[in-house]
C-alpha cells in the first residue's frame, strides 16, 4: 500500500480543512517547503489538491502545482478543479503523474473516458462521500453529485482508470480513524485500485488499512494529511506501517 502525503492548496498556502468546511481551516505555510520535507522523509508520491479550483472550477493554483512537480522530485497526484480535457492535459503534459477528476466524473463522465484512453493509467476518479456512501459530493464538497458511492463506482467500472480515490468527508481532517467497513465494501464494488482518504491519525490506522482485504483484494494506497502536517504522525513510520505484517 502506497502512502500519499497530502498538500491542500488554498489562496497559495498549504491548509487542511475539517470535514471539507472552508471556514474550518488550519494553515501550514509554504506548500513547496512541505512537499520537500515529505520527499526528504522518503515519500514517493505526494497528493496535491487545489481547493480554490475545486470550489470555483478555475485553476487558481495551477502554477503552484506545477512548481511542486518541478521541485519535489517525486510523483505528484493532483486534483481539484480538473473539469475539462484541457485542464487535465495542462497537468499531465507538464509532469503530473496522475490527475484526479471529481466533479467532472459525475457531471461529464465522457471526459473521463476520453482522458483514460489518451493517458492510460494516469487518470483517477475522486469520489468524496458522506453518510457511508449515501451521497457523492462535488464542487469542493459544497453540493451533491446526485449519486450514491456504489452508483458512481458502477458508472466507471469499465473505464481504464489508474485508481479511484475514496474520501469519507465526515472523517476528513478529524483524526477520528478511517472508514474501514466502508472501504471494505468499496473493494468489493470496483475492479480499480482503491486509494483511501479521510481520518488517518496513527500508524495503527495505516496498519489496519494495509491489512484490509475483500474478495482477495487490498487497498492500493492511503492519503494522509492532517496527522502529518500537525506532526502527530512521523512520515517514515507511516511509510513503514503501510507494509502489512505477516
The alpha carbon torsion through 123, 37, 52, 162 (nearest 10 deg) reads 10
Q: Which residue has the cell 475539517?
A: 18
Whether 172 is catalytic: no
Q: Specify the long-range contacts of residues 106-113, CB closer than 8 Å, at least 24 apart.
A: 106/136, 106/138, 106/145, 106/146, 106/147, 106/152, 107/138, 107/145, 108/83, 109/155, 109/156, 111/83, 111/84, 111/85, 112/156, 112/159, 112/161, 113/159
Annotated catalytic residue: which of 8, 50, 87, 205?
8
Rounded distance between C-alpha atoms, residue 121 and residue 163, angstroms: 8
Cell numbers of 118, please? 489518451
Residue 154 annotated to the active site: no
- Helix extents (H) in 137-245: 149-155, 180-189, 203-210, 226-230, 235-241
d(C-alpha 208, C-alpha 201), whole Å: 12
Instruction: Give the separation between CA 167 and CA 141, rounded to whole angstroms.
Output: 11
Catalytic residue among 87, 128, 172, 179, which? 128
Positions annotated as catalytic residues are 8, 128
Amino acid at each position: 500500500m502506497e502512502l500519499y502525503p497530502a498538500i491542500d492548496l488554498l489562496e497559495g498556502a498549504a491548509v487542511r480543512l475539517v470535514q471539507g468546511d472552508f471556514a474550518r481551516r488550519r494553515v501550514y505555510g509554504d506548500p513547496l517547503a512541505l512537499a520537500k520535507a515529505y520527499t526528504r522523509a522518503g515519500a514517493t508520491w505526494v497528493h496535491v489538491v487545489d481547493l480554490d479550483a475545486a470550489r470555483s472550477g478555475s485553476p487558481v493554483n495551477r502554477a503552484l502545482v506545477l512548481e511542486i512537480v518541478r521541485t519535489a522530485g517525486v510523483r505528484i497526484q493532483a486534483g481539484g478543479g480538473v473539469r475539462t480535457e484541457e485542464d487535465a492535459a495542462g497537468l499531465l503534459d507538464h509532469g503530473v503523474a496522475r490527475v484526479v477528476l471529481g466533479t467532472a466524473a459525475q457531471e461529464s463522465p465522457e471526459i473521463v473516458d476520453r482522458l483514460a484512453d489518451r493517458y492510460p493509467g494516469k487518470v483517477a476518479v475522486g469520489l468524496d462521500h458522506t453518510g457511508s456512501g449515501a451521497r457523492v459530493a462535488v464542487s469542493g464538497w459544497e453540493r451533491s453529485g446526485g449519486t450514491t458511492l456504489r452508483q458512481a463506482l458502477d458508472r466507471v467500472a469499465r473505464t481504464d482508470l489508474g485508481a479511484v480515490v475514496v474520501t469519507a468527508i465526515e472523517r476528513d481532517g478529524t483524526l477520528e480513524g478511517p472508514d474501514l467497513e466502508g472501504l471494505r465494501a468499496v473493494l468489493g464494488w470496483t475492479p480499480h485500485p482503491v486509494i483511501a482518504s479521510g481520518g488517518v491519525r496513527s500508524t495503527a490506522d495505516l496498519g489496519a488499512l494495509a491489512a484490509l482485504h475483500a474478495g482477495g483484494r487490498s487497498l492500493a494506497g492511503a492519503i494522509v494529511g492532517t496527522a502529518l502536517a500537525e506532526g502527530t504522525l512521523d512520515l517514515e513510520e507511516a511509510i513503514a506501517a503501510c507494509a502489512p505484517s505477516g
